Structure 1
Amino acid sequence: MSGKFEPKVPVQLDPPKDDPISLEALARANGADGEKCYVAIKGKVYDVTGNKAYQPGGSYHVFAGKDASRALGKTSTKAEDVSPEWRDLDDKEKQTLQDWITFFSKRYNVVGIVQGATNME
């Protein structure tokens, strides 16, 4: 099962950064007008710019420029579920969220931490 989340094509990732990224800067990184596209999970900010699914019109664009922890744990693409709050998820949803973190960490560079994030652990 360890290979379950491995990318089909190996990805060379940069060392993770812990630069603070404000909520305003995160919100601007939504892929609009060819700009960067970031998704945060439990406060860590991943650069998903190269994945069309997160760009405007893509199936996961609802997550772009936001901390999508709750929605990912619930396997939801509903805008109302996109929230940093995840602690009240049930055990299965928390495991799903952890699986998403594993998935993202094998594919996307961590470019920073949401400034003031209270949902990291």
Structure 2
Amino acid sequence: MSAPMRNFEPKEPVKLNPPKDDPISPELLATADGSDPAKVWVAIKGIVFDVSGNASYLPGGSYNVFAGKDASRGLAKSSVKREDALPQWEDLDDKEKGVLEEWFKFFSKRYNIVGKVTSANL
């Protein structure tokens, strides 16, 4: 897994909806795990993105480990290990936090924000 390019703009323009801040419980987030291709969510630092339509997050896809979870730690560590698909990122070093921020910007340019995880300390 490589970090996103520093140019965060998508190749093709993406029309995004205004961000929502609907409360999303960890249990509800877990249901958006790719088993229903129409509802696939990934959270970063407690912000939930709708990644439906990206086959990488569906079962068998390279990023499916993140579907239905807060993937902050795994993205920051550039890891797709199941044990790294966790919301804990505050204890990471500055370099990893920088990588996480780049992923957040990358997602923000491509996917609609559908809410915030209710247990996230933001």
Deviation at 1:35, TM superposition (A): 4.2
What is the alpha-carbon distance in structure 2 between the residues aligned to residue 33 and residue 100 of structure 1? 24
- CA distance in 2 between counterparts of 1:74 and 1:34 reads 26
State the shift of 1:34 in Å.
3.1
The Cα shift of 1:116 comes to 2.3
Is 2:37–2:53's contact at 8 Å kept on the other side of the alignment?
no
Give the letter for the 1:66 counterpart: K
- Unaligned ranges ≥5, structure 1: none
SS of 1:112's equivalent in the other structure is strand
Question: Residue in 2 aligned with 1:15?
Answer: 18
The whole-number CA distance in structure 2 between the counterparts of 1:34 and 1:110 is 17
Q: More helix by proportion, 1 or 2? A: 1
Q: Residue 58 of structure 1 corresponds to which residue in structure 2?
A: 61
Residue matched to 1:32: 35
- The sequence identity of aligned pairs, in percent, is 64
User: Normalized against structure 1, the TM-score is what?
Assistant: 0.93
Residue aligning to 1:102: 105
* Cα gap change, 1:33 to 1:47, in 2 (>3 Å): closer
* 2:109 counterpart letter in structure 1: K
Count matched residues.
117
Structure 1 residues 81-107: Cα deviation after superposition (integer angstroms, max 9, x where no partner):
111000111111000000000000000
Amino acid at match of 2:65: V
Unaligned residue ranges in structure 2 (runs of 5+): 1-5
For 2:106 and 2:72, how far apart are their aligned partners in 1? 13
TM-score by length of 2: 0.93
